[in-house]
C-alpha cells in the first residue's frame, strides 16, 4: 500500500485524528492508493474533515464522515454523514504555460476569491482548494475555465455541490 506524501498541516484545537481513504491509484499522475485527511473527532465514529483532499474525490473540508478503526488504530472513512456545502477543486499549473510550475502563481490568481488550500510539493505543484459554499462560485468557475483555455493550468472539481452545478 502506498500513502500520500503531501505536507502535514495539522489543524489546531480539538481531538485531531487522521481519517484514511482508500481508492484506485491514478497511475497516470500520482501512484497513491490511500490518503489521510486531518479531521476533528466528534464522536467515537465520526469526525469533521479539517484539510483539503489532494486525491480523494467526493469529500470536502468541513464534511462530517463516519469511520471505523482497525486493529492498528487507523481510522478508515466509511460514509459522509453531513455535507459541508464546500467544493474541492484541484489545479495543476501547465509547466510551459504563463504560470510555469508555480503553485504560488495559482494561489495568487485565485487569491481575490479568498480560497484556502495547499500545494502538494515543489516537485509536483498540484494545488488543492476548498471553495466555501458562500464563495463567488460563478467568478471562480469563470476564472478556472479561462485559465485552462489560456494554458495557465488544468483543473478538476473533485467534490461538487448543486450550487457549483448551477453556477
pTM of the model: 0.87
Would you place residue 23 in the very low, low, confident or very high pLDDT band (cuts 50, 70, 90)? confident
Domains, the chain: 16-82 (no CATH), 87-166 (3.30.70)
Mean pLDDT for 11-16 is 70
3-state helix, strand, coil in the chain (%, to 5): 15, 35, 50
pLDDT 10s digits, 85-100: 999 999 999 999 999 9
Q: Kind of pairing, strands 116-119 and 64-69?
A: unpaired
Q: For residue 106, give the nearest of 87, 126, 121 by alpha carbon.
A: 126
**Top-confidence residue, 4 or 124:** 124
Predicted local distance difference test score (pLDDT) of residue 14: 65
d(C-alpha 25, C-alpha 28), whole Å: 9
Mean per-residue pLDDT of the chain: 90
Would you place residue 27 in the very low, low, confident or very high pLDDT band (cuts 50, 70, 90)? low
Q: For residue 87, give the nearest of 7, 11, 6, 167 by alpha carbon.
A: 167
d(C-alpha 93, C-alpha 102), whole Å: 7
Predicted local distance difference test score (pLDDT) of residue 146: 98
Amino acid at each position: 500500500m502506498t500513502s500520500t506524501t503531501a505536507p502535514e498541516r495539522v489543524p489546531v484545537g480539538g481531538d485531531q485524528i487522521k481519517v484514511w481513504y482508500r481508492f484506485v491509484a491514478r497511475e497516470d499522475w500520482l501512484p497513491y492508493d490511500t490518503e489521510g485527511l486531518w479531521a476533528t473527532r466528534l464522536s467515537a465514529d465520526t469526525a469533521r474533515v479539517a484539510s483539503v483532499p489532494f486525491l480523494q474525490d467526493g469529500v470536502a473540508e468541513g464534511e462530517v464522515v463516519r469511520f471505523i478503526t482497525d486493529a492498528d488504530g487507523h481510522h478508515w472513512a466509511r460514509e459522509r454523514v453531513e455535507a459541508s456545502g464546500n467544493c474541492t477543486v484541484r489545479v495543476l499549473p501547465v509547466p510551459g504555460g504563463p504560470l510555469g510550475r508555480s503553485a504560488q502563481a495559482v494561489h495568487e490568481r485565485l487569491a481575490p476569491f479568498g480560497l484556502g488550500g495547499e500545494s502538494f510539493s515543489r516537485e509536483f505543484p498540484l494545488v488543492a482548494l476548498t471553495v466555501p459554499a458562500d464563495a463567488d462560485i460563478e467568478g471562480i468557475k469563470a476564472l478556472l475555465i479561462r485559465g485552462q483555455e489560456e494554458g495557465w493550468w488544468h483543473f478538476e472539481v473533485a467534490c461538487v455541490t448543486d450550487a457549483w452545478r448551477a453556477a
